[in-house]
Structure 1
Amino acid sequence: MKVLVVGNGGREHALAWKIKQSPVVDRLYVARGNAGIWQIAEKVDISPTDIPALVKFAKEEKIDLTVVGPEQPLSEGIVDVFEEENLKIFGHRKSSAILEASKVFAKNFMKKYGIPTAFYETFDNEKDAIDFVKKQQMPIVIKADGLAAGKGVIIANTLDEAIQTIKDMFRGKFGEASKRIVIEEFLDGEEASYIAMVKGEKLVPMATSQDHKRVFDGDKGPNTGGMGAYSPAPIVDEKIEQEILEKIMYPTLKGMKKEGRELCGFLYAGLMIGSKGINVLEFNVRMGDPETQPIMRRLESDLVQHILDILDGNIDKVKPKWSNKYSIGVVMASKGYPGKYEKGFEITGIEEAEKDPDIVVFHSGTDIKDGKLVTNGGRVLTVTAVAETLKKAKEKVYKAVEKIHFKGAHYRKDIGDKGIKRLENI
């Protein structure tokens, strides 16, 4: 069968890498992809958000299955259009993708259905937001309503910072995305990512993982799209997982169906587990990036067959098989990310790093210029390793990272430390 992957990042490289292993896949295409994905899939030079061109390509090439990676095409209705043309596609319809596309919708939805989340208020003007924030305790969390590539969440530690953030947002920092904002209480604790493949009121859990959102070691600095992840996440034990399913995942599926917004695709709950229990920080209607990279390294069963079974209404048949090894991914980013950064620097050392069979390097922001591999984004690579223990996986991954070079390369050096500490204390 012919499969098309839509998207350009590390998540899509990891999905394509796994899809390529399926015995049912004869040809794999990517729109538009990156230099890493082009090594394993046929490049389709169409933007992930050019839905009419993607539909035309899928019809002409008789694509049997399309898998959508990023949130933007989902929120713009790619699934609706493909389904109208009787093209098989895995992802949520536009009406369901609002769970990620609007933080205001998501917060109001959680409140309505009793899904645990931080106390919040929503605002569509600067004055009311500033008046509100003056009465709150710091730190406080300020979120742009719409999609902002993982950068639309600011944790303000002082009132001055909160006021400035509100002004920046309403004055166009994130364009249309910050015309409305959510202001919510800051929750302490440890983050975890819980991802499942879902259809209607049923779900199949993926392996647990933990992302590292802040740009610097020790969870310092601004939020990013994610600087690294590992799987499984020891904080999510059996008891906590049961609570996540009972209080968050199943009520979300039921609530969305009741709203006439039935879910079908990947559903991601970003969680804070701390003194106030388990609370939802955000929902995403797709796999996380960089969580997908270590999760796919541990998936031993056929992802394509799982997706086909779900789309054919046989979700009960889907039983993913997971490696009992630990997997870790470290993002190598451009200097200046998540702010301004330069592109076009040559990348060397990947082949050397991948001589270790436990290492796979997934590309995010890469391109080929004049026959050379160069940087082409804020997050450039995710270096992944698998090993019998999380500690060994961390040692392996950082040895590999040290072999890869590009000008201004920046990465966190503490990915996995929370999990290692937790495992040592069990």
Structure 2
Amino acid sequence: MNNKKSPQISLHIPPKMWHQFHHTLLDARTNNEEVIGFLFCKCHQVSKQKIRYLPQSWVVPSPDCYERQSASELVMKQQFHEYLLETFLEKEQLDVVHIHTHSDRHKPEFSCVDDLYESAYAKFLSSHFKKKPRLISGVFDETFQHSQFRIWDRKGKSFESINCTQSWFELTQEANRDWTELMFARQQVFGEGVQKQLGELTVALIGCGGIGSIFAELLGRLGVKKWILIDPDRLESVNLNRLPAATQEMADQQWHKVHYVKHLIKRIYATGSAVKAIPASIADAAARQEVAAADLIVVATDNHSSRQVAQELALAYMRPLVCLGTHIDMQPNNTPRMYCRVTVPPLGGGWCLMCGNIINLHRAALESAANEINHLAAKVGYVEGISNPAVFWLNSLCASTGVGIIHSMLSGFLNVDNGLDWVYEFPGSNWLKADTNYLGTSGCYFCGG
């Protein structure tokens, strides 16, 4: 008897991509005929028990691409079909998702025709391409309100249902869990569904210092219990004025910052939390693998190289990213000018921290260089030798704004499909909100712009 559990398979489509894709599908329908669209995906093996398909490109055929198109039948022209196969499966080695509509408003079911066609097509893909791409299929009603998705085996003999999400967070809600915890009673105004999602959210926090620790404390008390903490540094006395509940004893014992933040979470949840503390740089391969499996990446570091790695991971594995940072400088009249910044690039690309000039790639390269090179750069003034000034209240303002944005994303009352970049300036008390339409860079090496 084989008790081996099948891996959980999901398809995660960025909301902006889905909006463009499904509206193009609707526009392609002139009467009441069926329409089809294609998503081309890379496969991410999150773990032994979880596989995620991430769309890289999409295509919706125009009417002249069909040999036949009606309410009951779709046949693509051979030349167009060969173009898709050569471009996306042979050259780019991606897997394919077929999405088609049924011309009614009831919950859609795959038809016998769908079964026969997809079975033969799954077998064809496996036998004609070296990578043996998988076929995923989805069927929607004509309003795009209801759907079913499935993935075929490579022999075209069987399939299994999979989950498809078109949101920022790919979350599943655990059954049989008591969500009536008294500590969240005053958050009921946001809805039970939001509280469940907070409880299921796995957050990868890169940087557990002045901003990251406050962020973890705030988001933890909102209901987030699953954490991956990454930071190679240890506590020092100079940190104690900015880290909640940190003590001189912890600094004397040289606690790793990740273990200190884990301590903060465990103070909130003596049981029921899952916190993985990794006292390493985000450049560490094991740390990167853990981050790629998270639902949300938050980077709260004071260096450009770690932000660059975080952004690259977010793009590679299509994970939501929130970047937190502060800055203090002195004006000519010797009065301080202080800023905090919260940036959320669009999920799946469009613009990123690099093409938006939020990361200085020159600084990032120097920070990640070998010690000898970094030392030489510092001597000639390319790298600052004095730690940036910081105060608790400014870090708190940045962290709490980041938590508020995440809560708003989950609640649905803040649309961040195009990303956001907010800067707060003090003492002027100005909120500067960038027009994200100008943040993209055409042909950005990292996200494609």
Give TM-score, length-normalised by structure 2.
0.24
Higher RCO (CA-CA < 8 Å; seq separation 6+)? 1
